[in-house]
Amino acid sequence: MKRVEFEAFIKGFLLFFFSMGTLLSILVYNNFNKELSELDSKILDKMRICSFNLNCPNFEIDFSENKFTTYKLYKTSQLDSYFPILKSQQNLLHISLSKDKYEIKITYIKDTHIKEFVLALIGISLFSILFSLYTLYPLRQSLLLTQEFIKDILHDFNTPLGALRLNSSMLKREIGENKKITRMEGSIENILSLQENLKCYLFDHEMQQEQFNLKRFIEVSVHTIENSFPSIHYEIDIDSSVNIKSNEKAFSRIISNLVSNASKYNRVNGSVRISYKDNQLYISDTGKGIKDTKKIFNRFYKEQERGIGVGLHIVQKLCKELKIEIEVESTLKVGTTFTLIFPSSS
């Protein structure tokens, strides 16, 4: 079950469970009060019968001054009720029930309702799961259809992209270096980068570890991107002896997305600086900055009109798989710095 499906399942389950649980709680509470009221009525009826025949082993009988309302149940330290005595205006017949005996009956009613409530909650839980799975089915089908559609598009991308790359290289050999051809090659690389992002988004991949030189790797990645952003100045400050151990393809996606964003959302004649120190890689730019750094890794979240909002989500996903911590600091109209913190073994 994918994250979005799990989230939809949990929300559907909680919504149904708490709605039905709240309704059940109200019903149980009202039913408990109703049975409690019926218990009081039965006790009062028995006291009334007792006042006639005085044959009531469960009650205590006494006499009291005529200062209480008759035929009424009083709940104090015990249950009391008062009844008139024939040919007596000054005294009343006082019949009482021990509070302990009353509490025993209340406890029995309460325990019965609690057991019924728990069993009903278990039933509601099971029904909530079935309900959530049932409502999740259309979403799952829609996601599967979308994924299959994107997979087909990604497969169909290969033929026209291959033709474009072949023709651009042939044109370069025929007419030499040309700015238009360079821009066209840059656009092709951007499409290939988007294709790789979508593949990372859709497919699971093995994270085989390999060791490579960080500076050489960054220089190749930057060279691929800088042709598309001729006004941006790139600076690489990494010692040539630094090697890291990671999955090269996945790490390439991380660097490509971060450097591409740093270039894309930079100011005219801005700069991108990539440096390494104490097992941490810094990618800094002089761009627009980020308004909400807490949301940028959310899927489909974006603060600019360009893009579809999955690039940084993929970066975070790949960082988790590679066990690389990622942090971001940003100031609006000043710039942004992404920090990649490598595992100690890198």
Q: What per-residue confidence (pLDDT) applies to 206?
A: 55
- Per-residue confidence (pLDDT) for residue 142, from 0 to 100: 77
Q: What is the DSSP string of 24-62?
A: HHHHHHHHHHHHHHHHHHHHHHHHHHHHHH---TTSEEE
From residue 175, how far is each of 2, 169, 178, 186, 230 by CA, in Å? Answer: 50, 10, 8, 18, 21
Burial tier of 279 (Cβ tally within 10 Å: 0-12, 13-18, 19+): middle
pLDDT of residue 36: 92
Res 155: pLDDT: 63
pLDDT reported for residue 339: 96
Locate 190 and state its tokens: 């951007």
Q: Which residue has the higher pLDDT, 119 or 140?
A: 119
Q: Which two tokens stand for residue 210?
A: 């390999």
Predicted local distance difference test score (pLDDT) of residue 1: 66
Residue-level pLDDT at 9: 86
Give the pLDDT of residue 207. Answer: 61
What pLDDT, on the 0 to 100 scale, is given for residue 119?
94
The more confidently predicted of residues 331 and 178 is 331
Stretch 56-73: mean pLDDT, rounded? 89
Dihedral-angle region of residue 299 (phi above 0 means left; psi in -120 to 50 means alpha; beta otherwise): beta
**Secondary structure of residue 239 in the 3-state scheme:** coil
pLDDT single digits (tens) 230-289: 899 999 999 999 999 888 888 988 998 899 889 988 998 999 999 999 999 999 999 988
Say which residues have a Cβ less than 8 Å from residue 118's Cβ, sequence separation at least 6. none
Residue 340 has pLDDT above 90, yes or no: yes
The per-residue pLDDT for range 14-43, each reduced to its tens digit, is: 999 999 999 999 999 999 999 999 999 999
pLDDT in tens, 127-183: 999 988 888 888 778 777 776 776 666 666 667 777 777 777 787 778 877 777 777
**What is the mean predicted confidence (pLDDT) over 90-117?**
91
14 contacts 145 by C-beta, under 8 angstroms: no
* Single-letter amino acid, residue 75: K
The confidence score (pLDDT) of residue 146 equals: 73
Q: In what order do the strands lie in the sheet with 79-85?
A: 60-65, 88-97, 79-85, 73-75
Predicted TM-score of the model (pTM): 0.51
pLDDT value, residue 159: 72
Domains in the chain, CATH or no CATH each: 3-134 (no CATH), 210-341 (3.30.565.10)
**Mean pLDDT over residues 103-123, rounded?**
92
Looking at residue 135, its pLDDT comes to 84
Look at residues 247, 276, 252, 272 and name the one whose alpha carbon lies nearest to residue 261.
272
Cβ neighbours around 47 below 10 Å, total: 25
Which pLDDT tens digit goes with each residue over 281-329? 999 999 988 888 888 888 777 777 666 677 788 888 889 888 899 999 9
Max avg pLDDT among 82-91, 145-154, 192-201: 82-91
**Which of residues 168 and 198 earns the better pLDDT score?**
168
